């Protein structure tokens, strides 16, 4: 950005525009609204279940029969979309994550129930095998390596299963190479041309996913392992642009950067380079960091929440996946 001749003090006093609520409102460069929010929701097995997630204060898993009541307030507040994640029972996990293809799995049940009750609510289905594998990885393992092309086949089957149940957006979070092209082709071949793809294009191998892995029960399975052979190295930034470029070329409708706040620089670069709808995932660890500090009385909940969300808008995001979505929507209403 180039500046026209800037003013100088004392003729120019920057504080004049900050002096009143009304001036601050008039000069605000970004706005946060309920339209910017996507709410990740955890679904569990059983009847009448609603359980707290210890590492994510204020976040729960709910059984499908409780899901409509759980989601209704958010829908009424105008949240455009939710993202569904399953806490798959251990007994249903195996090395190939085959439960991901079961037309009656938690995600499909939840999708059908939600679409019937709230047809206007956008539904994102996460595509990756980790909630379904007994080893906790996002793909299948061959000779000790998460096998890319074998995994693609399973991801396509998983995505088609969700599409048949009525999902609106497929969000692959697995970081396999070539998944966007493979998913687009698989969806189109079955006529799902309106199912869109939000790619977790720049997803980093991050410590900040810890609480999520507890929430979906993949932490124990992963047993101290990591995902560094497929998720990105936090040291890299140019590589994120290359990932995003490939995903756009392969047919992604929108792209995501994940985690969020530690990667605002990546969001800014992606948005300024490609000018495509760019989303951030304010992940579990980011949420829990704020909540833990709030619980100690060290920062103000509402202000910290809204400031963190505004940061995404300022960095160039179209919207944010955030566990704060219902609370933020209420404040923004």
Asked if 332 and 33 touch (Cβ cutoff 8 Å), the reply is: yes
- Residue 212 or 279 having the CB closest to ligand PBG: 212
Structure tokens at 313: 């808008």
Residues 203, 234: Cα–Cα separation, whole Å: 9
Indicate the residue among 151 and 284 with the shorter CB distance to ligand PBG: 284
Residues in the chain: 333
Compare residues 192 and 324 and give the one whose CB is closer to ligand PBG: 324
Per the CB < 8 A criterion, the answer to whether 214 and 265 are in contact is no
Output 66 or 227, the one with its CB closest to ligand PBG: 227
Q: How far apart are CA 66 and CA 117, in angstroms?
A: 13
Residues that bind ligand PBG (CB under 6 A): 126, 128, 130, 138, 173-174, 209, 212-213, 227, 283-284
Query: To the nearest whole angstrom, how small is the minimum distance from the Cβ of residue 146 to ligand PBG?
Result: 12
Which CB sits closer to ligand PBG, 101 or 117? 101
Q: How far is CA 70 from the centre of its chain?
A: 19
Which amino acids are annotated catalytic? Answer: 203, 258
Q: Cβ 283 to ligand PBG, closest distance in Å? A: 3
Q: Which residue's Cβ has the minimum distance to ligand PBG?
A: 212
Q: How near is the Cβ of 126 to ligand PBG at its closest, in Å?
A: 5
CB of residue 206 to ligand PBG, shortest distance in Å: 8
Q: Which is nearer to ligand PBG, 96 or 126 (CB)?
A: 126
Minimum distance from CB of 184 to ligand PBG (Å)?
Answer: 19
Tell me the C-alpha distance between 10 and 190, whole Å.
Answer: 67
Q: In the bound complex, what is the minimum distance in angstroms from residue 212's beta carbon to ligand PBG?
A: 3
């Amino acid at each position: 950005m180039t500046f026209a001749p800037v003013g100088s003090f004392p003729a120019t006093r920057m504080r004049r525009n900050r002096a009143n609520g009304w001036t601050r409102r008039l000069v605000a460069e970004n706005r946060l609204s309920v339209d910017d929010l996507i709410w990740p929701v955890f679904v569990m097995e059983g009847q009448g279940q609603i359980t707290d997630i210890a590492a994510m204060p204020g976040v729960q898993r709910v059984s499908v029969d409780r899901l409509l009541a759980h989601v209704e307030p958010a829908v009424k507040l105008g949240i455009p979309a939710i993202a569904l994640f399953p806490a798959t029972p251990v007994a249903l996990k195996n090395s190939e994550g085959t439960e991901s293809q079961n037309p009656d799995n938690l995600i499909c049940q939840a999708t059908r129930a939600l679409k019937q009750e709230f047809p206007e609510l956008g539904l994102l289905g996460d595509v990756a095998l980790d909630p379904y594998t007994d080893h906790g990885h996002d793909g299948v393992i061959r000779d000790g390596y998460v096998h890319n092309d074998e995994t693609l086949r399973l991801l396509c089957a998983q995505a088609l299963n969700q599409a048949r149940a009525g999902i609106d957006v497929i969000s692959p979070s697995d970081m396999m190479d070539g998944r966007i092209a493979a998913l687009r082709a698989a969806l189109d071949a079955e006529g799902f041309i309106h199912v869109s793809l939000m790619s977790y294009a720049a997803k980093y191998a991050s410590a900040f996913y810890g609480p999520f892995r507890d929430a979906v029960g993949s932490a124990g399975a992963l047993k101290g392992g990591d995902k560094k052979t497929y998720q990105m190295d936090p040291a890299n930034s140019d590589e994120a642009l290359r990932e995003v470029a490939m995903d756009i070329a392969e047919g992604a409708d929108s792209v995501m950067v994940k985690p969020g706040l530690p990667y605002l620089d990546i969001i800014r670069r992606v948005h300024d380079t490609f000018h495509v709808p760019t989303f951030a995932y304010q992940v579990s660890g980011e949420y829990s960091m704020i909540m833990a500090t709030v619980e100690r009385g060290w920062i103000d909940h509402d202000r910290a929440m809204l400031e963190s969300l505004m940061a995404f808008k300022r960095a160039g995001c179209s919207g944010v996946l955030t566990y704060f979505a219902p609370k933020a929507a209420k404040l923004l209403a």
